Structure 1
């Protein structure tokens, strides 16, 4: 690819580079030349080296009005990236040019009420703005054809360069392979943490994981790390059986192979229900099945799959008898402090990442990456810039 071009002027100038722009919902991404402005106060400009392609990117593009609320366009998607700091804005002290970093979908300012609360990781710093695909000042740092381009969750990793709030960036080990640890920016951290942090899966327990994309497989890995003795992987794609066992599943169940609801199948297999169930699809019907698959005697169900639409209906008795229902966002990790530790766990062999990567493509092949994901042919495609 052509190298990014800088405009003349100050040392911190506009960078022209390539990005995949979503001009409108439901249409393929378009590779464009964009202008990335210098970072403002408490912002970091990053040269993105690699980005995973997450199902949430596809959902944002194609599910507006279905499972997603109305969203702003044009936008640059991508939120599972890793790169190198190109420059920092005024007031940034935690990182400098040349540092390897991972942008984060969840900030950690370390000062707000939620950051000081050990029970949650939902930092409030710039939260509303980034959810609107904007930075703290209500604008973005990326333009194309003289038009502002929104930044997905304030990040936008489907671009050779991006600008991110400093509380949404964490510095990682200088030897970390960016084309693998990028997956810790979302999917793997989310599923793994849902098991070990949110669900607090116990040694010797029986677990069921619904949906075997990257998040679900990471949840399987988390259940194994927690010492679960029986891990039942559930998916309608039979090809997921073998890969699920790579991550620690002891059994595979395909709902299509049974005439009765999957929750009934699982209750029969486990003498009344599983100890822990993790829903990693983002479908309210599957969520209800996950709740009903739990043991009434203290079973724990964790909702991990993302959706903004649909109502979850429950039988009151299911909860009254002692089941617990929990939600998990980004695996419950305090992002800035936790992700570098997860990188270290990968580098020391405690965490699998390579096994998630089934395809490696270039930025101009990003639409192909979506096709591979939706047809069930990939677990994670990594885009190399």
Structure 2
């Protein structure tokens, strides 16, 4: 029996309030409205950003259904949707692409003004200011326009990428972890052949950044972390060596600089800690090193940055979703 146009009852992991465990609840998911798509989720990854929301390192409205790294099948579509159809296998994207705003039309940006990371008038809601989720009679917010910790979710048609019908469930990692790390090396840092690199933070994003450095042709790739059990995976992904921060008797950046004749050409930070961000910058070569920051910091966090660190030629850059665009542009949509 078709569920198109009907409210669907399903299970979801709901975060009712900050710093509390997620609660498995039966929720109601309303049908998609114009330019919206309802998905039956097949798989979802878990990202550190989801945990950042729980601990209010990133501010977003509660109650909320977290998750932004998923793979689903289109269950139904709203009026005006032309880029996907029921039955298509897709990845919901936390970075939308309206195709009309200044960011979308710039060759130097992949961030659309419709990006929802918990700020703005319609934070945690669809673009019409309402939600498709409810539980026990209460409105439940979505997260980053995706909300993948549920059996069914509703996303905008500018926040979706169609994938091969035979794509494995692990393709959910393209929704954030892999695309973010790999793209940071390829698109944001623009790692060059024969260069030296250091990747700080050896999780899924860090491993993907290492893979990006390898594919770009870097000759020295240093994985930096405090969990030595992750070193074999880092080496398998392309690291040429690993540094355990717990074993060092001097500052990490001094060790990296000694290993690389004055500093790496590229440093990619994937940990989300202010001291690590500073270390990544200090680990780059003073004359032309590039440091890329990806970790999420608290609204109260600030970097104690002295201009002298940049004066001689270093570059400090940020990267969202690896500087990559995945969605198909919707020229009929406006921001």
Match of 1:36 in 2: 29
Cα displacement (A) at 1:337: 4.9
TM score, norm. by length of structure 2: 0.94
The secondary structure found in structure 2 opposite 1:335 is coil
Question: 1: CA distance between counterparts of 2:206 and 2:114?
Answer: 28
Q: Does 1:15 align with 2:8?
A: yes
Change (3 A) 1:45 1:129: farther
1:232 paired with 2:222, answer: yes
Q: Distance in 2 between matches of 1:335 and 1:94?
A: 13
Are 2:87 and 1:98 aligned?
Answer: yes
**Structure 2 matches for 1:160-309, cutoff 5 A?**
160-177=151-168, 179-309=169-299
In the alignment, structure 2 segments of 5+ residues that lack a partner are: 330-335
What secondary structure sits across from 2:327 in the alignment? Answer: helix
Residues 6 and 15 of structure 1 are in contact (CA less than 8 Å); yes or no, is this contact kept in structure 2? no
Aligned partners of 2:115 and 2:144 also within 8 Å:
no
Corresponding position: 1:148 with 2:139 = yes
Match of 1:133 in 2: 124
1:114: which partner in 2? 103
**Cα 1:247–1:131, aligned 2, differ >3 Å: closer, same or farther?**
farther
SS of 2:191's partner is coil
Q: Please list, as runs of the form range in 1=range in 2, the aligned pairs for 1:306-325 lying within 5 A after superposition.
A: 306-309=296-299, 310-325=301-316
CA distance in 2, matches of 1:188, 1:221: 9
Count how many residue pairs are aligned between Structure 1 and Structure 2.
326
Q: How far apart, in 1, do the equivalents of 2:297 and 2:208 lie?
A: 19
Distance 2:30 2:138 in 1: 13
Higher helix share: 1
- Retained in 1: the 8 A contact 2:83–2:328? no
Cα displacement (A) at 1:317? 1.6
- With the length of structure 1 as denominator, give the TM-score of the two structures: 0.82
* Match among 25, 28, 33 for residue 18 of structure 2: 25
Equivalent pair of 2:94/2:115 in contact (CA under 8 Å): no
- RMSD of aligned residue pairs (Cα, Å): 1.7
Distance 1:25 1:123 in 2: 27
Q: Contact 2:64 / 2:140 at 8 angstroms: preserved in 1?
A: yes
In structure 1, the gaps of 5 or more residues are 339-385
Alpha-carbon distance in structure 1 between the residues aligned to 2:58 and 2:121: 16
After the TM superposition, which parts of structure 1 deviate over 6 Å for at least 4 consecutive aligned residues? none
